[in-house]
Every structure is written in structure tokens, then in C-alpha cells.
Amino acid sequence: MPREKFQTLTEQMFYILLCLRETCCGADIMERVRAITNGRVAVGPGTLYHLLDSFVGAGMIEEVDVGAGGRKRSYRLTAAGRRALAQEFDRLNRQAADYRRCILKEGEDA
């Protein structure tokens, strides 16, 4: 089920996983996504919390550190998470290539 759920990644899922190529505390991810995308993409705290939980459940990320009182958890990407990120990158590239081919064809036809 989780594999099917994350077969394609939304923009927010993509950037959350991208941030977690380095170990990162959950609450810091929002700022990192904003920085990577120059403020274009904002991940809401509720969405972030629930997606991190789902990613852990799907084995795409893992908890690496739990702070005092069981809070302030940090996460990092697993091999499965890296594969999902790479697959999404390929999918986006194929999409971009299709776009270029179609637009170029239109230009040639005109």
C-alpha cells in the first residue's frame, strides 16, 4: 500500500525527502524547503508532521535521534527513500523531455 501511495511524489513530498539527504530535525524542514525553493514552496506544519509519519511507515525515512521527552525527532533518508526520490526525478525529466519535444514539434510545424 505505501509503495502505491508514494508511486509519484507531490512537490511537497519531493522537497521534504530532498531535505532529508542530511539528518534534519522535523521542525527545521519547513525552513529548509523554503530556502531550497527561494520561498516558492511552503510546507505547512500539519502536512509536514503527517507526511513524516507516513514516510517512516513506508520505510522511506528513518528516525535517527529522539530528543528529551521523546520529542524533537530527527530523520534521514533511507535507501528506499533515495530510490523514490530518484524515480521522481526521472519522471520529472521524462515529463520535461516530452514537453520540449512537443513544443519543438509545434515550432517546426508552424
Partner 1 sequence: MKDRKFRPEGSLQFYDYERIERHLAQMAAKGWRLERISGLGWHYRRAPAKKLTYAVEYFEEGSDFNAGLPNSQREFVEYCEAAGWQLVTTWAQMMIFVSEEENPTPIETEPATRLETIARSMKRNFLPGSIVMIVLGLLEAGLQLPGLFRDPVGFRSGAGLYAGLCWLLVAVVFACRTGHYLVWLRRSRRAVGAGGDCLPMHTSWIAAVDRIVLAGEIVLLAGMCVRLGVRWLGCMAVLVAGFYLNLLLTWRLRDFLRARNVSAWTNRLVTIGFCAVFAFALTGGIVWYALTAW
* Cα 42 from Cα 44, distance rounded (Å): 6
Interaction of residue 57 with partner 1, rule CB under 8 A? no
Of residues 48 and 92, the one with the C-beta less far from partner 1: 48
Determine phi and psi for 11, rounding to 5 degrees: -55, -40
Binding-residue pattern over the window 76 to 105 for partner 1, x denoting contact by CB under 8 A: ------------------------------
Interaction of residue 42 with partner 1, rule CB under 8 A? yes
Q: Which of 78, 59, 47 is nearest to 6 (CA)?
A: 59
Task: Give residues with Cβ within 8 angstroms of 20, minimum separation 6.
Answer: 29, 61, 75, 76, 77, 81
Interaction of residue 35 with partner 1, rule CB under 8 A? no
Interaction of residue 26 with partner 1, rule CB under 8 A? yes
Write out the residues near partner 1 by the rule CB under 8 A.
Answer: 10, 12, 26-27, 30, 42-51, 69-73
